[in-house]
Structure 1
Amino acid sequence: MDATEKLKVGYLGAATDSGPDTTTFGFMAAKQFFAATEDEVNFVNLPSHGNICKAVGKQEIRFGVVAVENVIDGMVNETVRAIEAAHGHWGVHITGETVIPIELFYLSKDGNPQPTVVSHEKASGQCSRFVNQLKDEGIAVETRNSTGEAAYAASQNGELACIASSRAEQVYGLNRINNTGNIVDNPNSMTRFWIISKEHGNRTGHDKSCFLINLEQAAVGALYRTLECFARHRCNLLIAYPISIPGKLWEYTFLLEFEGHINDDSIDGTWEELRNSGLCLNPPTFLGSYPSVTTNITVPA
């Protein structure tokens, strides 16, 4: 199949002198989700989650793969804000999810410590104990757009070290500093990725649905009464996450993720009740329903 005819899938990855970076966890997640049709996919690297969401919205790519949650460092605000904006502008939806294990390594070109370490903000957060030790030693820690971009920078500059994946270590010819192993705070670290598109996800019977709501701050018990709508329809809450609203002090958008599909009677009934409840400043935003892959994931003993 010609590259121009292939399904375009965007992922977080830098452009390098040797071509698109393919060492990020975003690329690994994209490969995993589209493994069954990989021969029909053209993976497109983009510099930020915001760029991925925008490219999906403008139909420059059909699907995007964006990190949304890590079991150590929590939700990725950048992603949630970008999807909210892309949904409002272009009708972008969440249509799937995938989960990959995370291992990160302390790397440099010659395998020796360097005065500056670079990585993605979320990667550094997942290795906070190790990163804090580096800071205590006087080593500067700087942020890059992705772990792959950080690894490429370290491969080009002998005075930089990086925190990146083992794939980045191999692709860019880096070496582990002091033979250090996996440096994440929790060896069972995983990151969940959302698959976004202008299409809707298929109902499977094992699904999740995601909403954004802005509550009337002056209404006593507004959040409680909102969640009560879901409980009354026996909808199981998975996530309730506050996102600060830029320019508004102490006001938040709440991301709510529940078990079930929007076409299920329970979710649809909740949706209608919430829309007519008067609890929300604006109509609640439905970001999508998608097959769940986290239901049966367990942590090794």
Structure 2
Amino acid sequence: MTEQEKALRVLRDKIDTIDQEIQVLLNKRAECAQEVAEVKESFEGKQDAVFYRPEREAQVLRRVMERNQGPLPAKEVARLFREIMSVCLALEKPMRVAFLGPEGTFTQQAAFKHFGHSAVSAPMNVLDDVFREVEAGAANYGVVPIENSTEGMATHTLDLFRRHNVQICGELELRIHQHLLVAKNETATPITKIYAHQESFAQCRSWLESHYPDAKHIAVSSNAQGAKRVMSEVGAAAIAGDMAQDLYDLDIIERNIEDLPDNTTRFLVLGKQHVGPSGDDKTSLLLAAHNKPGALYTLLEPFHRHGISLTRIETRPAGQGAWSYLFYIDFEGHCDDDNVKLVITELEQQSTELKLLGSYPKAVI
């Protein structure tokens, strides 16, 4: 045995010992999770027990990142803990999470990022069905896109919040990397048509004009659907991400074709529960203003007066006659905070309609 082999043998034995210690601690944590489930069921009842607490999970992940001393990056350590919590939560009760299908979409990727891979993902045919599944209790949670850093707000998602009785329980951000995919052994075939969701076409507009100006663009309901079609078509390509490429066993002929390298989509987590304060939260609501001069100023002024920072305001048609509008507003703080309570009370008096969509932890990873 050489000196190198001896040195490596010592280090590998050390790693094996550490791995055994980690495994013992993981199972101890899992046993605690099972005990938590028993306590909840005994006090809340088996049917009414709430196993997933977004505020608690956010607090745990923040502490993980704060105490991390490296060499592993803090966000990577938090990602590992997310998966540990996902496995432990599945021992208490597996979470069924609805998303816009089919499998392989960025929304499914976002669902796994937020809930971990032990969650049971449930693909829906249309976005409305994600809201319906959560509202009916058929899914514990849902994940929907709300805005993209390149293309702005997902207006259809906003409109669905008015029609359905759901709560926003969390948010997350996902870096979106778009790839150009073709079927196996078709990398040399000229591309005559490209499948993608209309948002992906918009996010890759300049690149497509430069590289495939003559290819026909065919919009589909999701990038995963386009990737699925490409499996059996000659001369076709699809714009999609890594998950779709792996799922449908396609070849990537060009990576990261999005026009902006920091292309990011924000997603919201839908549920039915009230989420307690986590210490760093957002609140979202829908407002309808009186149709009179200064109406918008009247709605926004209380936020300034009570020192609350707005993070998003979006206008949508109210559907109650011409030039009638709803305002979708995100702001920092929790609905249980004293200053937020004061603002909401004033808004209820100044608006014709107010719907509190939920308070939830800010995105952690």
- Give 2:50's aligned residue: none
Does 2:229 align with 1:139? no
How far residue 48 of structure 1 moved from its aligned partner, in angstroms, is 2.2
- Give 1:122's aligned residue: 199
Q: 1:24 aligns with which of 80, 86, 105?
A: 105
Does 2:247 align with 1:171? yes
How far residue 2 of structure 1 moved from its aligned partner, in angstroms, is 9.8
How far residue 31 of structure 1 moved from its aligned partner, in angstroms, is 0.8
Q: Deviations over 1:24-51 (max 9, x none)?
A: 111111111112xx43x32111122211
Q: 2:278 aligns with which of 185, 189, 204?
A: 204
How far residue 246 of structure 1 moved from its aligned partner, in angstroms, is 4.2
Does 2:263 align with 1:182? no
Partner SS, residue 209 of structure 1: strand
Does 2:327 align with 1:254? yes
Identical-pair percentage:
28
TM-score by length of 2: 0.70
Inter-partner Cα distance in structure 2 for 1:45 and 1:156: 22
How far residue 7 of structure 1 moved from its aligned partner, in angstroms, is 2.0
- Give 1:18's aligned residue: none
Inter-partner Cα distance in structure 1 for 2:169 and 2:214: 44
Does 2:171 align with 1:97? yes
Q: 2:232 aligns with which of 124, 139, 156?
A: 156
Inter-partner Cα distance in structure 1 for 2:153 and 2:314: 8
How far residue 181 of structure 1 moved from its aligned partner, in angstroms, is 2.5
Code of the aligned partner of 2:255: G
TM-score by length of 1: 0.84
| Alignment CA distance shift 1:207-1:2 (3 Å) | closer
Inter-partner Cα distance in structure 2 for 1:6 and 1:170: 25
Inter-partner Cα distance in structure 1 for 2:234 and 2:322: 44
Structure 2: gaps spanning 5 or more residues: 1-88
Inter-partner Cα distance in structure 2 for 1:2 and 1:290: 22
8 Å Cα contact 1:50-1:78 kept in structure 2:
no
- Give 1:237's aligned residue: 310
| Alignment CA distance shift 1:221-1:103 (3 Å) | same
- Relative to its length, the structure with more helix (as a share) is 2
- Give 2:289's aligned residue: 215
8 Å Cα contact 1:113-1:161 kept in structure 2:
no
Q: Deviations over 1:44-68 (max 9, x none)?
A: 1112221101111111111001111
Does 2:349 align with 1:276? yes
When structure 1 is superposed on structure 2, of 57-66 and 108-117 the one drifting more is 108-117
Inter-partner Cα distance in structure 2 for 1:173 and 1:48: 24
Give runs of ≥4 in structure 1 deviating > 6 Å: none
Partner SS, residue 282 of structure 2: strand
User: Cα RMSD over matched residues?
Assistant: 2.2
Inter-partner Cα distance in structure 2 for 1:150 and 1:263: 44
Structure 1: gaps spanning 5 or more residues: 15-20
When structure 1 is superposed on structure 2, of 234-243 and 78-87 the one drifting more is 78-87
